[in-house]
Structure 1
Amino acid sequence: MAKNILICDDAAFMRMMIKDILTKNGYNVVGEAENGKIAVDKYAELTPDLVLLDITMPEMDGIGALKAIKEKDPNACVIMCSAMGQQAMVIEAIQSGAKDFIVKPFQAERVLEAVKKVIG
């Protein structure tokens, strides 16, 4: 059975890129969100196996969305994505329950490696 993934990034082309990598490798992208607030709502609605969550977004950032998702579902699997290699944000994301961290620009192999590690 294909694993269901929710992609959250404020940049449409980033969502498209990630979706392309995942669908070509047998994953099912069940939803997309352009900010953290929408991601939290879609998580509740879709209950995906995994969320790929950008950190820097309008409305609600990825760290806020991660905390809100984990509050609703402590077993949620979330991988954070960010262009900024800001150590403090990576640490906060991991401490808040993120399972892994991917740095932009994405390499398909790295995205797939993180997804496989987290949900198989």
Structure 2
Amino acid sequence: MKNVMIVDDATFMRMTIKRILENNEFNVVAEAENGFKAIELFLQLKPDIISLDITMPEMDGIETLRKIKEIDSKAKVVMVTAMGQDKLVREAVKLGATSFLVKPFNENQLIQTFKQVSSRN
């Protein structure tokens, strides 16, 4: 079972992602509402996969991704973004994001993405 950390400033989105993942054999070990907390928890817990929202206050997902990749270049990060943020998605991929999901997504898209990411070395 893969350990996942969910990073999103919206409580509802964290709860939704957590419910879907836990119902599909993933273990959510942490949740963070901003990039600062995400980095702190990443250092403590070293989750297998991170679900990372791009648009957050305080420290956005791009900066959070950059810092996580500096800590561990092999970290698996799924960027979660709203439609119309193509430029940010391209930047995230350049920085090493493993995959991305565009909101609104359905349960199958989420699970397929996380299964694909978890099977990568």
CA distance in 2, matches of 1:34, 1:56: 11
- Percent identical across equivalent pairs? 52
Q: How does 1:77-92 map to 2 (within 5 A)?
A: 77-92=76-91
Partner of 1:50: 49
Deviation per CA, 1:19-66: give whole Å up to 9, x if none: 000000010000000011111111111100000000000110000000
> TM-score, normalized by length of structure 1?
0.96
CA distance in 1, matches of 2:113, 2:19: 16
* Count of aligned pairs between the two proteins: 119
Deviating beyond 6 angstroms after TM superposition, the runs of 4 or more aligned structure 1 residues are none
Partner of 1:65: 64
CA distance in 1, matches of 2:109, 2:84: 15
Could you tell me whether the CA contact under 8 Å between 1:56 and 1:82 is conserved in 2? yes
Partner of 1:99: 98
Please state how far the C-alpha of 1:85 moved relative to its aligned partner. 2.8
Gaps of 5+ in 1: none
Deviation per CA, 1:86-106: give whole Å up to 9, x if none: 111010000000011101112
CA distance in 1, matches of 2:99, 2:84: 13
Could you tell me whether the CA contact under 8 Å between 1:85 and 1:103 is conserved in 2? no
CA distance in 2, matches of 1:10, 1:99: 21
Gaps of 5+ in 2: none
Please state how far the C-alpha of 1:114 moved relative to its aligned partner. 0.8
Partner of 2:32: 33
Please state how far the C-alpha of 1:117 moved relative to its aligned partner. 0.7
